[in-house]
Structure 1
Amino acid sequence: MSERSDTELEARLEVKLAEAEEYVSRLRKELAELRSRKAQAQAERAIVEAAEEELREADQHAVTDELDKYMQRTAVQWRSVLEFLEDSIAELRRDRERSSESSEEPRVSAEDALLNSLPPKPSKGETD
């Protein structure tokens, strides 16, 4: 080959090499932008997930607070319940005594009727 053709070949190779380096540079820039967008999207996703978690926790705290308030409003006054039941039983007994005094026929109380309707308890020696 001649010196001129070698020089032309060398010049063309230099041009191709420059084009290839420019192409590689563009690819690297594009790859860097892609990685940057991906990292930004992951960061934004992490922020959204953290915010959603905070909202879930806030909702749970709100429900817990409402439950505490509900429990305070609905606290059972057992002393009042006991007094009510004792008064009710005493009134039922008075009514039964009055009705049994006015009636000559013996009356069976609801408690006795219920007890009489139950099967007898098995003795200690009997098994099921």
Structure 2
Amino acid sequence: MQHPSDPAVCLNMQPYSSGYEKDPNRPFLTQARGSAAAQPNDYFLWSIFNFGFFNTCCLGFIALVFSVKSRDCKVVGDPEGAARHAKTARWLNIFALILSLIFIVVFIIIIYASSTTIMEELQKRQKGQ
């Protein structure tokens, strides 16, 4: 059991100023909430949408993984890694969306063609009776 004077985890809950700053008590860089322009978009909501609705060839899931990686990099103060993972997530989301829309259009064309063929065959049988 640990002694109360030996904390295992030290949380710095003090407010911080705008911009990046290096706190000697914290190992990571922090960024203030007001300067969100420097942080890249992680495309998390788009990845969730593609994972739920357009998960063709698991691209939506993979995009979600890269979005979470981007978000994690933003938390630990790695803007380059966050931007790299966000770019990958964006391209995976684009490919998932395009591939899914192509599959949907092809599926609709196949259903339409088969239904018209079935209707023509039924009309031929009715006339033949």
- The TM tier, using the shorter chain, reads 0.3 to 0.5
With a CA cutoff of 8 Å and minimum separation of 6, indicate the structure with the bigger relative contact order: 2
Q: Could you state the TM-score of these two structures normalised by the residue count of structure 1? A: 0.39
Task: Give 1 or 2 for the bigger CA radius of gyration.
Answer: 1
Q: Could you state the TM-score of these two structures normalised by the residue count of structure 2? A: 0.39
The structure in which a higher percent of residues are helix is: 1
